[in-house]
A = this chain, B = another copy of it.
Amino acid sequence: MESYHFLLALALILLFTKIFGIASSHVHLPQVVGALAAGILLGPCGIGILHESDFLTRTAEIGVILLMFIAGIDTDLKELKHTGPTACLIAVLGVFVPIIFCGGAYFLFFADKVSFLNVMKALFIGVVFAATSVSITVETLNEMGKLKTPVGATLLSAAIIDDIIGVVVLSILTGFGDASVKPVLVVAKILLFFLFALVVGLLIYQLFKRMEVSFAHHRRLAVWAVAFCFLMAYCAERFFGVADITGAFFAGVILCNLTDLRKYVAKKVTVALYLIFSPVFFANIGLKTDLSGMTGSIVLFAVVLAVMAVVSKIIGCGVAARICRMNRHDSLTVGIGMVARGEVALMVAQKGINAGYIDTAILPAIVLCVIVAALITPVLLKLCYVGEKKNPKPQKD
């Protein structure tokens, strides 16, 4: 491979992920779907012009880390306090029911016996479908003028909390990844990580709080925030055996209360993301999605997994909402609103592949499920509100 081939790869990835992304948003699909399709098309499964490389893998990894950092920094702790216990229960059931349903489906399909490895593999598949991608739901609700309703607010908070729970569960799984390590040591290391994040967090928070005043909108704030994110990601992996994206996520959470800084940093990081790193991340997932290797059993598994991924969120979150005394219709809406999966699912899948717990042969099934969940959410959500067309005062954002 010539040393400058990576320039062609980057150019094609940027061009096609955007074209396909725009095309999918024209048919009211999230751009992620288009970007994944572009990756599949350019990769070995399509015209074969792109191949996996160390450079693309690392650039994609930076993309994941920055995406999780943004997810962390966008966490609105005050809003979370407001919606409180209801959102919390919805998130908890919305994480654990999918883990059981989707993990269970995997286990029934592929596990020959109950072993540590098989349980871990099933759990990883489960965690992939734990975190909701709220952006699709937000867009649909916004379009229908239902975002600024109690249901909308609860959905938003629950989606953020399920990110946090998902990340924590992922950390625990990654920690247990090495079967030779004693469980008590794993738990100790994870607890130490959160202690570390808390202590470092308080110090860094104070540091940035001072800098926020002195150097408002200085480039150095964004540069150092990103450096902090990379450092936390590194420390999480290196010293605590926790996934790097967990470190990046909490680096974001640490800074999320600094309103001014948060907006500034998020804006700048978002530019770097959409200009290079996100397209490479999504295309890279597409590259790895080897559709040609889909055997009959994997296709069947994909169908079952998709059903489980959709149903588990509706049941888990819907039941939680009912427990918290929301009415039937609202509970169903909440359940459906939480169905969408996106970036975080793909990131966890990536982690699982790296850790050896998810077979790349399964990846197409996962990608298809993410796409199905993303497709079906807006359709079902609109059906939920069909009867309410005569709503005299539709709220608009």
A226 touches B275 (CB 8 A): yes
Q: Residues 123-160 of chain A: 1 if any B CB is under 8 Å from the residue's CB, otherwise 0?
A: 00000000000000000000000000000000000000
Set of chain B residues within 8 Å of A234, measured between Cβ atoms: 4-5, 7-8, 11
Q: Is residue A28 within 8 Å, beta carbon to beta carbon, of the partner chain?
A: no
B65 touches A18 (CB 8 A): no
Q: Is residue A122 within 8 Å, beta carbon to beta carbon, of the partner chain?
A: no
A15 touches B272 (CB 8 A): no
| Count of identical protomers in the assembly | 2
Once A10-B230, A14-B223, A55-B58 are accepted as A-B contacts, the answer to whether A4 and B244 lie under 8 Å apart by CB is yes
For the complex, count residues of A whose C-beta is within 8 A of B. 44
Set of chain B residues within 8 Å of A220, measured between Cβ atoms: 18, 22
Q: How far is the CB of A170 from chain B (nearest CB, A)?
A: 15
Q: How far is the CB of A16 from chain B (nearest CB, A)?
A: 9
A244 touches B18 (CB 8 A): no
A18 touches B223 (CB 8 A): yes
In Å, the complex CA distance between A214 and B224 comes to 36
A4 touches B233 (CB 8 A): yes
Q: Is residue A276 within 8 Å, beta carbon to beta carbon, of the partner chain?
A: yes
From B54, B230, B233, B238, give the contact of A55 (CB < 8 A).
Answer: B54
A6 touches B58 (CB 8 A): yes
Q: Is residue A191 within 8 Å, beta carbon to beta carbon, of the partner chain?
A: no
Set of chain B residues within 8 Å of A276, measured between Cβ atoms: 62, 226, 272
Set of chain B residues within 8 Å of A233, measured between Cβ atoms: 4, 7
Q: Is residue A222 within 8 Å, beta carbon to beta carbon, of the partner chain?
A: yes
Q: Give the residues from 273 to 304 in chain A that come closer than 8 angstroms, CB to CB, to chain B.
A: 274-276, 279
Q: Is residue A210 within 8 Å, beta carbon to beta carbon, of the partner chain?
A: no
Q: How far is the CB of A292 from chain B (nearest CB, A)?
A: 28
In Å, the complex CA distance between A10 and B231 comes to 8
In Å, the complex CA distance between A48 and B160 comes to 41
Once A223-B279, A226-B14, A272-B271 are accepted as A-B contacts, the answer to whether A7 and B65 lie under 8 Å apart by CB is yes
A-B contact pairs, 20 of them (CB 8 A): A2-B237, A4-B234, A4-B238, A6-B58, A7-B65, A8-B231, A11-B230, A11-B231, A14-B223, A14-B230, A15-B224, A15-B231, A18-B227, A54-B54, A55-B55, A222-B274, A268-B275, A272-B272, A272-B275, A272-B276
Known: A11-B234, A15-B224, A272-B275. 9 other contacts (CB 8 A): A7-B237, A10-B227, A14-B226, A18-B224, A54-B55, A222-B271, A269-B275, A271-B272, A272-B272
